Structure 1
Amino acid sequence: MSRFDLFNWWKSGKKKISFRSIPRPTILIAFIFALLFLIYSNNFAPIVQTTDMARSLGLLHDRLAKIDATMLEEEKCEPIHKLAFAKTHKTGSSTLQNIIFRFGDNYDLNFALPENSWMFSLKTPWNASLVETLPAASLGPYDIFAFHSVWNYDEVKKVLPKAKFITILRDPVDCYESNYVYMGLQNAFKMDINEYAHLKAYHNPVRRSHAFIGKDQLLWDLGMNWRELENKTLVDKKIAEVDDQFDLVMFSEFFDESLVLLADLMCWKLEDVRYLTQNARKKEGKIEIKPDSREILSAWLSADYKLYNHFKEKFEKRIDSYGRERMKKDVAALKKLNEELSKQCVLAVGDNSILKGEFRMAVNSVEGYVINTTIPWCSSYARSEPSYSVLIRKKQMIKVGLKMGENKYSTLSKEERQRILQIMRTKLKVKTSNK
């Protein structure tokens, strides 16, 4: 539970409270007032002997020490391993996905991943049957869902019933412009985003029925189809559903603050959420959106803005509950971790013309990293989404193969089983993840 002000707690009518939820200064003030009340009320003499005061303060110190120990004990928590991420387009989601990949990889977790790709089909809503019969399902319950899909909360919940659910949003106009360029719509329409705003968006066209990039992309990524996006009642209903279903809605514009809240939600260390930015466009590929164009696009993307503004307000309140000063301190610590990471691991930043192997990006318009591979753990921070997906899949297949091998060759001697399993590992030729 995030810390919040005692008065706000009393005002809200909450029935339950724990020492962990009350700031320490509040507890100290409460005990001092209680002590003064006992000293000066009813049968207590108006003047208290110095020795009595010293004794009272000593008792107060002991009591506070016990409470402090209780609070520290309550603050201890185990990292949560079950996580479902509704991945949205061009919101910083690939950077967040890399963080989740690394965490799951390091803890040897079981990913619900596509059978042959780094994303699920974007033609139909996601269905649990897509992963229920895959070999990885034999390894036990799934732990992580973190791939592009046509989001379907009820179906994801079937395979991850106890997971924390998260997603990430971005200012809808900036999000649309990024998709517009990244997905090649600028070339397809033969006009930049400013021309598109005046010549196309101004007339309020609906989203194309089979397009996976288009109007109100955020709500589409969260499961609404093109018809539903035009229905204000259904949009409001969807926002209420997201509000009820997700444990944390993050923001591209407040990425570091979002990661601090994620670490708090999942009981992860800040070191777990440090990162190198993934899939960032080259500077020359960015286009300035003119004010009048932004106004037109904002009106066209009104459904996405309703979603965005609703959760932006909740996000601000969540930071208030976390504590503004505490947040400022933790963001500074995360930035320092990222600076140290970059200094240790990054030799150069550039596009696919200088990138090799698992560090090559899916498209040429974005930048990646030339990594200092003499430090083994650096690679996972810069590994591209397609490459990391392949590594995770092969790693899980090794585990499946070893499990099958242990069962199949259980009657053989220990030495013979080890020899056969080593042959299986060699044939799969899989790199184990860098820890």
Structure 2
Amino acid sequence: MLQKQPRQWWQLGVSRVTVAAFFISVTLLYCLSTLQVTFTPPDLPVPHSCALLPDRQTSQSATANGSQQDSNICVPKVDIMFMKTHKTASSTFLNILFRFGEKHKLKFAFPSSRNDFLYPSPFQHTYVGGLKSGMCFNIMCNHMRFNAPEVAKVLPRDTLYITILRDPAKLFESSFHYFGHIVPLTWRIPGEDKVAEFLRDPSLYFNPDGFNSFYLKNLLFFDFGQDNTLNPDDPRVEESIRLIAERFNLVMLLEHFEESLILLKDMLCWEMNDLLFFKLNSRQENSVSKLTPELRAKALQWNGIDWKLYKQFNLTFWEKVEAYGRERMAKDVTELRRRNAEMVKICIEGGHTVAAVNIHEQAMQPWQPFGERSIRYIFRADWMLWGEG
């Protein structure tokens, strides 16, 4: 028998190795094609806080909001979520936040494009401009439709939640005037007093599925991310109010704005000068519809959920005032008004708001409801405050 030459043995070995490598490669490719591997990195935890505490003088009182270091030191609070509700002077408060944040170089979570977080869509953390996993912010305060789990993905764990409410009848009148022109269902309301005609029989002019209709019914409840078309007696309303009360550390009231600021100062360990404010974007008196007792009752009935919400937090608000001390509150409010009056003399030309028609520089014109010039502004030749209320 002829024996294979060494060259033949080498060629045979190469062939076998090639075939084996081919089958191994095919098998490996098959396994990889069926194996599901996730390469998405895990979310980084939101930091406890991302700001150095501002330099402050030691306060002799301690707060009850978790910012206390010892029994004699009150540490200022800088991590804040302000739920900016519509037509509640929230822009006036926003100016306070902006000044405080700029003074202490805090980080704001701003919308990625518009001046709101894609309202009226429920807030998503992806709406924050430049947000990346693990990033931290101190303050969030632009208009949004509140969505607690998504907000919690953006802000530090110990963030304090604050918002403001307004008497629902007055809020409805203001919202109707301000937004009515962008709610098509109101365009066919006859007569001069469209608010009165609407309240005579809202069902004639309201459709829950109508474009922008949410502006005209329980707008506060809607801003909190809830169903504004529920019956006020629906158990879901009570549950929603309970959840709002659990989430928000302070619910301010427009009708008691100065008292609200004093409570805020006490809770956040701020200074009195941090609270100074000017009222932004007030309306001319002749543009405000006068609500008779009958119309007010109808407005509250139509906005029954907001009325329920307001009454609940009006009760807790005065409980906080009692705990703070009535005499102490009166003294602090007087001091705040005195300092505000001093600032008015320095900062506001003429000491009062200016009608839009008298502001000739286009860049300084306040936003107006479509077809009207009813919003007034505070103005000084060399600088201004901004906002929409």
1:155 — aligned with what? 150
Native 8 Å contact 1:279 1:361 kept in 2: yes
2:266 — aligned with what? 264
Question: Does 1:176 pair with 2:178?
Answer: no
Q: What whole-Å deviation, never above 9, does each CA across 1:141-193 have from its counterpart, x for those lacking one? A: 11111111111112111111321101101111110001111123597334432
Greater CA deviation, 266-275 or 181-190? 181-190
Q: What whole-Å deviation, never above 9, does each CA across 1:106-152 have from its counterpart, x for those lacking one? A: 21211111122221212310001112xx3365994111111111111
Q: What whole-Å deviation, never above 9, does each CA across 1:201-258 have from its counterpart, x for those lacking one? A: 6x79564455241211110111113454667111111100011000000000000000
Structure with bigger gyration radius: 2
1:107 — aligned with what? 104
Q: What whole-Å deviation, never above 9, does each CA across 1:342-379 have from its counterpart, x for those lacking one? A: 11000042133333466431224211122152xxxxx4
Corresponding residue to 1:167 among 163, 174, 184? 163
Corresponding residue to 2:354 among 325, 330, 350? 350
Structure 2, unpaired ranges of 5+: 1-59
**Aligned to 2:376, what secondary structure does the other structure show?**
strand
Taking the aligned partners of 1:144 and 1:258, their CA distance within structure 2 comes to 19
Root-mean-square deviation over aligned CA pairs: 2.9
2:177 counterpart letter in structure 1: V
Native 8 Å contact 1:87 1:148 kept in 2: yes
Native 8 Å contact 1:110 1:139 kept in 2: no
CA drift of 1:200 comes to: 2.2
Greater CA deviation, 332-341 or 206-215? 206-215
Q: How does 1:223-262 map to 2 (within 5 A)?
A: 223-228=225-230, 232-262=234-264
Taking the aligned partners of 2:362 and 2:158, their CA distance within structure 1 comes to 36
**Aligned to 2:270, what secondary structure does the other structure show?**
coil
Native 8 Å contact 2:112 2:130 kept in 1: no
Q: How does 1:49-198 map to 2 (within 5 A)?
A: 74-131=71-128, 134-135=129-130, 140-160=135-155, 161-185=157-181, 188=187, 189-190=189-190, 191-198=193-200
Native 8 Å contact 2:198 2:205 kept in 1: no
> Structure 1's 209 and 112: CA in aligned 2 closer, same or farther, altered over 3 A?
farther
Native 8 Å contact 1:263 1:270 kept in 2: yes
Native 8 Å contact 1:98 1:385 kept in 2: no
Q: How does 1:343-382 map to 2 (within 5 A)?
A: 343-348=345-350, 349-355=353-359, 356=361, 359-363=364-368, 364-371=373-380, 373=382, 379=383, 382=385
Corresponding residue to 1:319 among 318, 321, 337? 321
Taking the aligned partners of 2:208 and 2:123, their CA distance within structure 1 comes to 20
Taking the aligned partners of 2:363 and 2:338, their CA distance within structure 1 comes to 26
Taking the aligned partners of 2:134 and 2:241, their CA distance within structure 1 comes to 35
Number of matched pairs:
311
1:275 — aligned with what? 277
1:154 counterpart letter in structure 2: P
Native 8 Å contact 2:228 2:305 kept in 1: no
Structure 1, unpaired ranges of 5+: 1-18, 23-70, 374-378, 387-435
**Aligned to 1:165, what secondary structure does the other structure show?**
strand
Identity of aligned residues (%): 30
CA drift of 1:96 comes to: 1.0
1:401 — aligned with what? none
Taking the aligned partners of 2:208 and 2:263, their CA distance within structure 1 comes to 33
Higher helix share: 1
Native 8 Å contact 1:344 1:372 kept in 2: no
Q: What whole-Å deviation, never above 9, does each CA across 1:52-78 have from its counterpart, x for those lacking one? A: xxxxxxxxxxxxxxxxxxx9x835323
